[in-house]
């Protein structure tokens, strides 16, 4: 959509949003730092299956009629490369002139040439180690040797297709895996990929609040002991910011595999976080309903949006 400018003020009349859309209802890993792995919320009711390119196209067309879509991420709490039509989904985004990004654990990679030839702007590879015993602590259920083999396949596909896709390795730093940053960074650069490391943090919002209130399972305690910056110390800092609004709410729209607008990309897939059908509700109404959610008050009190934004770095 073209940005509409006011004639006199040149102020944008429509707002920009980033969209995160889960196109598949499943992830093949069970990372303890993620609601998929730490089983936050009652998720039995969750919509299952695949988002079709047709539904994605309808969602995008409605979004473009209501706002400026600055970028579409085809992921949130699931693994997008498991979708057999991921290339068609990316083309659905690109046909509308919208930048498209994907984040993946890269344990599955069907057709790297087709993926990169789709016009994908950026692919993020999320991982947390170079050797299997280290990697599997943070990426439970994954296999780093498969990931590394798929990184080589991606580099070859990029060379073969001449695709302009920016490929970046995103290394989650824990106390136990700093020693493996160097070899993974070297491999990434050798393959022509970008490399970035960031402190690992706990997700989702509900899990952080529960942990802060002392509700911690043995598995939670193990996760907490692996964090570089202890969660209580991080929240002691972020809770001082006294934020009253949240960019995850005001600037980002999150949509599940069935096309429901969700509370935000940082809260769980719990039924209570479903706002309603994105196609059936005007965007203003979706935003009004989101701002009424009580979870936000507890979240803002702890400064969790700043925690997600990397304030502890
Ligand atoms: S962090 Fe990513 S790879 Fe790990 S379980 Fe969650 S969605 Fe899957
Ligand atoms: S305040 Fe917390 S729960 Fe509310 S939208 Fe922001 S991150 Fe999500």
Report the separation in Å between the CA atom of 20 and the middle of ligand 2, taken as the mean of its atom positions: 15
Helices 86-94 and 53-66: angle between axes, nearest 10 degrees: 20
Element (H, E) at 70: strand 68-73
Indicate whether residue 77 lines ligand 1 (CB < 6 A): yes
Q: What is the pLDDT of residue 7?
A: 44
pLDDT at residue 243 in the model? 84
Question: Is residue 4's pLDDT more than 70?
Answer: no
Which distant-in-sequence residues (6+ apart) come within 8 Å of 113 by Cβ?
157, 160, 161
261 pocket-lining for ligand 1 (C-beta < 6 Å):
no
Whose alpha carbon is nearest atom 1 of ligand 2? 296
* DSSP of 93-160: HHTTT--EEEEE--S--S-HHHHHHTT--EEEEEE--SSHHHHHHHSTT--HHHHHHHHHHHHHHHHH
| Of the candidates 288, 277, 280, the residue with the CA atom closest to the CA atom of residue 47 | 277
- Kindly state if the Cβ of 25 falls inside 6 Å of ligand 1: no
What's residue 214's pLDDT? 95
pLDDT at 12: 55
pLDDT digits (tens, 9 = 90+) for 202-218: 999 999 999 999 999 99
Q: How far is the CA of 4 from the centre of ligand 1 (A)?
A: 38
The string of pLDDT tens digits covering residues 175-201 is: 999 999 999 999 999 999 999 999 999
CB of 305 closer than 6 angstroms to any ligand 2 atom: yes
Distance CA 231, CA 226 (A): 10
pLDDT band, very low/low/confident/very high, at 311 (cuts 50, 70, 90): confident
**Residue 202 Cα, ligand 2 centroid: separation in angstroms?**
14
Domains of the chain by range and CATH?
16-201+254-278 (3.20.20.70)
Read off the pLDDT of residues 107-155 as tens digits, 9 standing for 90 and up.
Answer: 999 999 999 999 999 999 999 999 999 999 999 999 999 999 999 999 9
What pLDDT band is residue 241 in, cutting at 50, 70 and 90?
Answer: confident
Average pLDDT for 244-257: 96
**pLDDT > 80? residue 159:** yes
Pick the atom of ligand 1 nearest to 33's CA.
1
Q: Is the CB of 31 under 6 A from ligand 1?
A: yes
Looking at the CA of 77, which ligand is closest? 1
| pLDDT tens profile 23-43 | 999 999 999 999 888 877 766
């Amino acid at each position: 959509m073209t940005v509409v400018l006011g004639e006199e003020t040149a102020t944008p009349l429509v707002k920009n949003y980033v969209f995160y859309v889960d196109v598949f209802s499943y992830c093949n890993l069970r990372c303890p730092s993620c609601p998929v792995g730490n089983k936050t919320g009652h998720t039995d009711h969750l919509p299952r299956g695949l988002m079709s390119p047709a539904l994605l196209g309808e969602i995008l067309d409605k979004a473009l009629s209501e706002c400026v879509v600055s970028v579409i991420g085809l992921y949130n709490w699931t693994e997008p490369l498991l979708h057999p039509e991921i290339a068609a989904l990316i083309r659905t985004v690109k046909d509308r002139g919208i930048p498209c990004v994907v984040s993946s654990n890269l344990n599955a990679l069907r057709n790297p040439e087709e993926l990169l030839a789709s016009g994908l702007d950026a692919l993020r590879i999320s991982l947390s180690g170079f050797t299997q015993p280290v990697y599997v602590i943070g990426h439970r259920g994954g296999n780093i040797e498969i990931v590394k083999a798929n990184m080589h396949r991606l580099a070859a596909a990029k060379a073969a297709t001449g695709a302009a896709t920016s490929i970046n390795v995103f290394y989650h730093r824990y106390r136990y895996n700093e020693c493996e940053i160097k070899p993974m960074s070297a491999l990434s650069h050798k393959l022509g990929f970008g490399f970035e490391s960031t402190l690992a943090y706990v997700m989702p919002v509900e899990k952080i609040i529960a942990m802060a209130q002392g509700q911690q399972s043995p598995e939670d305690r193990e996760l907490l002991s692996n964090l570089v910056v202890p969660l209580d110390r991080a929240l002691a800092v972020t809770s001082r910011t006294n934020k009253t609004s949240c960019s995850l709410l005001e600037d980002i729209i999150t949509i599940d595999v069935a096309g429901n607008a969700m509370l935000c990309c940082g809260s769980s897939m719990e039924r209570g976080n479903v706002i309603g059908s994105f196609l059936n509700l005007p965007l203003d109404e979706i935003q009004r309903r989101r701002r009424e959610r009580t979870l936000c008050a507890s979240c803002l009190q702890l400064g969790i949006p700043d925690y997600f934004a990397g304030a502890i770095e």
